[in-house]
Structure 1
Amino acid sequence: MQGFNALRRQVVLGRVSGVPVRADYRWFFVIGIMTLLIAASTMQISGEIGFPGALAVGLSVTLIFFISIFIHEFAHAAIARTENLEVVEIVLHFALEFHRFLKSRVLQSRFCSQDFEIII
């Protein structure tokens, strides 16, 4: 069980616009599983590509997927900054992603209608 708890730790992937981006170690396990599943599916569809080619396709598709998740989370952080909230970090977890702000509050966004409130 201690080995599984070690996977809950986070690694710093870098900084984007001064905001640290961290990922849970379990993400790397999921990237590996997704890569292998997509590679296996690719080999069934096109057996001519071979295992190295299918692995390259699987890794490419998986990375594009995870990059899109990061872009989505970064967009949340960018909008929060436009609302004068201090973004502390962006954390990519195994089952959910989030961005942490210095303070939580309910605000009216200038990008949304008056009836819509963003809870941060």
Structure 2
Amino acid sequence: METNWIAIGDINDIPLRGARCVKTPQGKIAVFRTAENEVFAIEDHCPHKGGPLSQGIVHGKAVTCPLHNWVISLESGKALGADEGEVKTIAVRNEDGALSIALESLMMAAE
């Protein structure tokens, strides 16, 4: 199955240890940039109470939800520590700073 990549902007559009949101037919996707310039994309809602993860604090390869301090792995989408739950991760491509997300992943997330 072929992956359709959708351009979402430039890495410099996202501050270090920050995020931006991309609206898709399947919902909002939060795209994060770590202090090491790695880029991750996950659904923009905490599995706990639906908090906006894009407004959370990025540390290492995780984000802390601004509502109840749940820590979510940007790599796996899973809640860390004693908390349980997860969000879907979306494949991201970084080509010399030009960022794209995988439409195939979004389609699968909608099923």
Class of the TM-score when normalised by the shorter of the 2 chains: under 0.3
Greater strand fraction, Structure 1 or Structure 2: 2
Larger Rg: 1
**Which has the bigger relative contact order, CA under 8 A and spacing at least 6?**
2
TM-score w.r.t. structure 1 length?
Answer: 0.26
Higher helix share: 1
